[in-house]
Amino acid sequence: MTKGMVIPKTGISTVRISPSRTLGWRVVGASTDTSLEKVFAGNIHLYRGFSTNRCDGRVHQVHRVQFISTLQKRSSFSGTEGHVDNVSINWLAVGVATILAFVLGGLWYSPALFGKVWQTDTGLTDDVLKQRSMAKVFGVSFLLELLIFINMAYFLGPAADLTFGLTAGFATGFGFIAMALGVTYVFEGKPLRLFLVDAGYHVVACTIGGAVIGWM
């Protein structure tokens, strides 16, 4: 990023922005008004009236434009630059995603799918399971699922759509949860089959949950 031109009658210098810096911005309005408005976009300050209007790294004068980054669309900023505040969460979407993940877990670990494999590899027989407080197990599990999707909704933000939500959900399930389980299971010497069952559940659950949050 290098020094560009000086904005007339302001004494403010613009900067030349590399092509990669222009990705993710879009024009949302146009008029002949060239009043300056400071817009926070990443670590760069842009101004109405002057911007890069094509990805060649040079500064060009254009009629009133406003660039909004993905981060701006998903959150508002307080008086401190870069501080994200008041991020909205779609609680209905979070609730639906949590319920779907919980129902999926009941099916995934049922005898019809991977329940028997899971019991064999964990050593949790029917007698052992009967001795546990299943109400407590299900209650805590539901709460933890809820926390997962609250966090996902927070990071996805209200601007997410179905495609982005689905992709981000898959990336969360596979890239974070499954890989973390893999590290733990390797050190604990757990069977690969058990890893595939447990990791597979979280990948599918997060993918569905992310799609729901993005869609709703």
- Domain final position from 85, 115, 135: 85
Identify whether residues 102 and 196 lie together within a single domain: yes
Asked whether residue 118 carries a pLDDT value surpassing 90, the answer given is: yes
Asked whether residue 206 carries a pLDDT value surpassing 80, the answer given is: yes
* Span 200-213, average pLDDT: 98
Identify whether residues 96 and 152 lie together within a single domain: yes
H/E segment holding residue 28: none
- Domain final position from 21, 54, 85: 85
Q: Read off the pLDDT of residues 67-80 as tens digits, 9 standing for 90 and up.
A: 334 444 444 434 44
The domain of 123 spans: 91-215
Identify whether residues 205 and 127 lie together within a single domain: yes
- Paired residues of 16 in beta bridges: 2
Identify whether residues 23 and 99 lie together within a single domain: no
Identify whether residues 132 and 173 lie together within a single domain: yes
Q: What is residue 126's predicted lDDT score, i.e. its pLDDT?
A: 87
Q: Read off the pLDDT of residues 160-205 as tens digits, 9 standing for 90 and up.
A: 999 999 999 999 999 999 999 999 999 999 999 999 999 999 999 9
Number of structural domains in the chain: 2
Identify whether residues 108 and 210 lie together within a single domain: yes
Identify whether residues 127 and 27 lie together within a single domain: no
SS3 for 112-145, per residue?
CCCHHHHHHHHCCCHHHHHCCCHHHHHHHHHHHH
- Domain final position from 85, 108, 133: 85
Q: What is residue 23's predicted lDDT score, i.e. its pLDDT?
A: 40
Asked whether residue 97 carries a pLDDT value surpassing 90, the answer given is: yes
Identify whether residues 145 and 173 lie together within a single domain: yes
Average pLDDT score, the chain: 75
* Span 20-27, average pLDDT: 40
b/e sequence 101-127, b meaning 16+ C-beta within 10 Å: beebbeebbeeeebbebbbebeeeeee
